[in-house]
């Protein structure tokens, strides 16, 4: 039969908005027009019409997953009716697992609870696990729809996008239908566990009211009763000897793996950064992001390979007794206790034994619109179930991230900075510093130092003047000639110091060289010696004025 799938706004039979319309004419000539929320779901209906096939719960025919048209021959009216019936059942099942408008607005108390949860900032549970907060601020359209009890406005608000603590969401189906929203009443799921607790209590009573119960490596002595545990710990019941707790049990109403729900929540393990869970989600995300269809097309699974983590998933691994069970009893057969104190049930495991084979804790990922539970996945439903609970394919590991290869040691050595010997470095620096030409700034600095040092002492001026005037003009040139040449360099070094390397610095070298040059020029001409004496007197008197107070010994140590 020819099929047409058109993208257009439409309304489903339950009142929810859709965005794709499937049109076809059946074998009897009757025309059909069906509204769907996605193109995939429309294709799922085509697959159903074309012929029933073997499916698991990840298909569109069961849980809104994929489902492309399959080849089929020999259809008859009964086959068509079955396909339509399956489609109707699927849509009804989907409507029952989430707090959608079609269910929420059937009862004003549910709408009021929804609105109150927004205004109070109470987290909403997600159908795929985890929670989100829908703030009142920024969601005016949604709040208005709830206040006016308008289901159409509610759907429009979600279609445009609702602001949440995990970003903008556009599907009301992500919100779990809790008891407040008309879901399964609180405690209903515990009815079967309560039944099992009653069976164990009956077995205790039948044994005379006191019994020793085997819990694997140890025995719970003098058990008189079994009581349920409130809240959501790992243990469902505790064994008591009088008022004392002597054992903790996890109860599963299941004789086969596919009758059991989950070993635990995936989101909590992801938030706790359990490596096996984090890597699993990263690998799923890689497939989702690189899939041509933009989704995972099959159910993937991977066993928990860390035995310690697997044990904690099954028994709790927390504080005893509530979060560290002694035993797991999985049974649909009534539970009894034999004369040796052993549980008689379909399956019994004791801590730290990990349930083997098809019961082994296994991570599953399958397609689910709007799911992900805060893990970064877009349309993936995660679960941690017994291995035999679902059918799927082993999850392949994502390609390894390319790593930069470390260079060889020889390359590292070649690229390393050369180690310079200290003596070589000192020689290099000395050569550069001592042979470097003096700049104008250097010369100004020398001039400043001379003026500062020479003006320190007035005493030096008086002593010099006295010593000079004590000699006649004939002896002064000789004194100057001998004393100046012999002691000037020595005393200048003492006054100006030496460099870091133990040699005269730029200043010392400049001063000494310049003085030597000038003295040799002037003293080379005999006619100017008298002039030198007079100049020396004037220079010494003027420049060493301050030196006479602070450093008179400089002059006194001069040998004449």
Q: What are the pLDDT digits (tens) for 309-321?
A: 999 999 988 888 8
Q: Is the pLDDT of residue 60 over 60?
A: no
DSSP class of 98? B
Look at 19-23, 332-336, 339-343, 476-480 and tell me which has the smallest mean pLDDT: 476-480
Q: Is 413 exposed, middle or buried (0-12, 13-18, 19+ CB in 10 A)?
A: exposed
Q: Using CA atoms, how far apart are residues 483 and 479, in angstroms rounded to an integer?
A: 6
- pLDDT tens digit sequence for 16-35: 678 888 888 877 777 888 88
- pLDDT tens digit sequence for 4-20: 888 888 877 656 678 88
| Residues in the chain, overall count | 560
pLDDT at 286: 92
pLDDT at 428: 60
pTM metric for this prediction: 0.44
Q: Is the pLDDT of residue 92 over 50?
A: no
- pLDDT tens digit sequence for 201-246: 999 999 899 999 999 989 999 999 999 887 677 888 999 999 999 9
pLDDT at 245: 94
Q: Is the pLDDT of residue 419 over 70?
A: no
The packing angle between helices 140-147 and 151-160, to 10°, is 170
DSSP-assigned beta bridge partners for residue 7: 20
Extract the tokens encoding 455: 């003006």
> CA angle 57-58-59, nearest 5°?
90
Q: How many helices (H) and strands (E) does the chain have?
A: 21, 20
Instruction: For 330, list phi and psi in degrees, rounded to 5.
Output: -115, 115
Provide mean pLDDT across the span 161-180.
86
Residues 18/9, Cβ–Cβ less than 8 Å = yes
- pLDDT tens digit sequence for 244-289: 999 999 999 999 998 887 898 888 888 888 999 999 999 999 998 8
Q: Using CA atoms, how far apart are residues 539 and 553, in angstroms rounded to an integer?
A: 19
Q: Which is more confidently placed, 421 or 501?
A: 421
pLDDT at 461: 66
Average pLDDT of the chain, as a whole number: 75
Provide mean pLDDT across the span 184-198.
70
Q: Domain-by-domain residue ranges, the chain?
A: 3-97, 101-181, 189-394, 427-556
Q: Using CA atoms, how far apart are residues 318 and 73, in angstroms rounded to an integer?
A: 57
Nearest C-alpha neighbor of 242 from the set 229, 223, 214, 228 = 223
Q: Using CA atoms, how far apart are residues 350 and 329, in angstroms rounded to an integer?
A: 9
pLDDT at 555: 59
Q: Using CA atoms, how far apart are residues 459 and 445, in angstroms rounded to an integer?
A: 25
Q: Is the pLDDT of residue 417 over 60?
A: no
Q: Is residue 444 very low, low, confident or very high in pLDDT (cuts 50, 70, 90)? A: confident
pLDDT at 22: 86
Q: Give me the percent of the chain exceeding a pLDDT of 70.
A: 62
Query: How many CA atoms does the CB half-sphere of 26 hold within 13 Å?
Result: 17
Q: Is residue 409 very low, low, confident or very high in pLDDT (cuts 50, 70, 90)? A: low
Which stretch, 28-42, 293-307, 516-530, has highest mean pLDDT? 293-307
Provide mean pLDDT across the span 87-101.
53
Query: How many CA atoms does the CB half-sphere of 13 hold within 13 Å?
Result: 8
Q: Is 423 exposed, middle or buried (0-12, 13-18, 19+ CB in 10 A)?
A: exposed
Provide mean pLDDT across the span 360-369.
90
> CA angle 111-117-119, nearest 5°?
105
């Amino acid at each position: 039969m020819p099929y047409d799938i058109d993208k257009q706004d439409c309304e489903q039979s339950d009142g929810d908005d859709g965005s794709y319309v499937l049109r076809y004419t059946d074998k009897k000539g009757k025309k059909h027009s069906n509204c769907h929320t996605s193109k995939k779901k429309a294709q799922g209906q085509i697959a159903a019409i074309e012929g029933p096939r073997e499916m698991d719960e990840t298909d569109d025919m069961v849980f809104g997953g994929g489902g492309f048209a399959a080849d089929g021959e020999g259809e008859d009216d009964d086959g068509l009716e079955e396909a339509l019936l399956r489609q109707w059942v699927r849509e009804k099942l989907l409507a029952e697992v989430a707090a959608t408008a079609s269910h929420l607005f059937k009862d004003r108390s549910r709408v009021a609870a929804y609105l109150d949860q927004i205004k109070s900032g109470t987290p909403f549970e997600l159908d795929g696990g985890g929670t989100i907060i829908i703030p009142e601020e920024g969601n005016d359209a949604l709040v208005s729809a709830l206040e006016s009890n308008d289901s159409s406005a509610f759907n429009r608000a979600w279609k445009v996008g609702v602001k949440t603590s995990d970003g903008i969401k556009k599907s009301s189906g992500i919100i779990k239908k809790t008891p407040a929203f008309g879901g399964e009443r609180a405690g209903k799921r515990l009815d079967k566990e309560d039944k099992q607790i009653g069976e164990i209590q009956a077995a205790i009573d039948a044994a005379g009211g006191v019994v020793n119960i085997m819990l694997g490596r140890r025995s719970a002595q003098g058990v008189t009763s079994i009581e349920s545990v409130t809240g959501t710990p790992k243990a469902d019941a505790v064994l008591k000897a009088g008022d004392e707790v002597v054992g903790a049990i996890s109860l599963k109403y299941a004789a086969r793996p596919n009758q059991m729900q989950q070993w635990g929540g995936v989101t909590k393990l992801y938030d706790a950064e359990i490596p096996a869970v984090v890597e699993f989600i990263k690998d799923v995300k890689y497939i989702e992001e690189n899939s041509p269809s933009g989704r995972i097309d099959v159910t993937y699974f991977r066993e928990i390979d860390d035995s310690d983590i697997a044990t904690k998933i099954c028994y709790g691994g927390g504080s005893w007794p509530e979060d560290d069970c002694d035993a797991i009893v999985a049974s649909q057969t009534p539970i009894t206790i034999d004369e040796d104190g052993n549980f008689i049930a379909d399956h019994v495991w004791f801590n730290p034994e990990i349930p083997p084979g098809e019961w082994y804790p296994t991570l599953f990922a399958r397609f689910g619109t709007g799911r992900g539970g805060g893990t970064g996945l877009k349309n993936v439903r995660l679960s941690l179930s017994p291995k035999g609970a679902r059918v799927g394919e082993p999850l392949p590991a994502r390609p390894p991230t390319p790593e930069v290869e470390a260079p060889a040691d020889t390359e590292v050595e070649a690229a390393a900075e050369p180690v310079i010997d200290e003596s070589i470095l000192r020689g290099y620096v000395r050569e550069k510093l001592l042979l470097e030409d003096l700049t104008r700034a250097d010369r100004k600095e020398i001039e400043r130092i001379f003026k500062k040092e020479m003006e320190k002492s007035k005493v030096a001026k008086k002593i010099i003047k006295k010593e000079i005037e004590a000699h006649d003009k004939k002896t002064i040139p000789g004194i100057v000639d001998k004393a100046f040449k012999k002691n000037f360099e020595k005393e200048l070094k003492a006054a100006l110091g030496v460099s870091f390397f133990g040699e005269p610095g730029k200043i010392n070298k400049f001063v000494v060289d310049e003085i030597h040059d000038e003295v040799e020029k002037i003293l080379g001409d005999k006619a100017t010696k008298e002039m030198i004496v007079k100049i020396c007197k004037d220079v010494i008197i003027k420049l060493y004025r301050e030196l006479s107070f602070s450093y008179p010994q400089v002059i006194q140590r001069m040998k004449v």
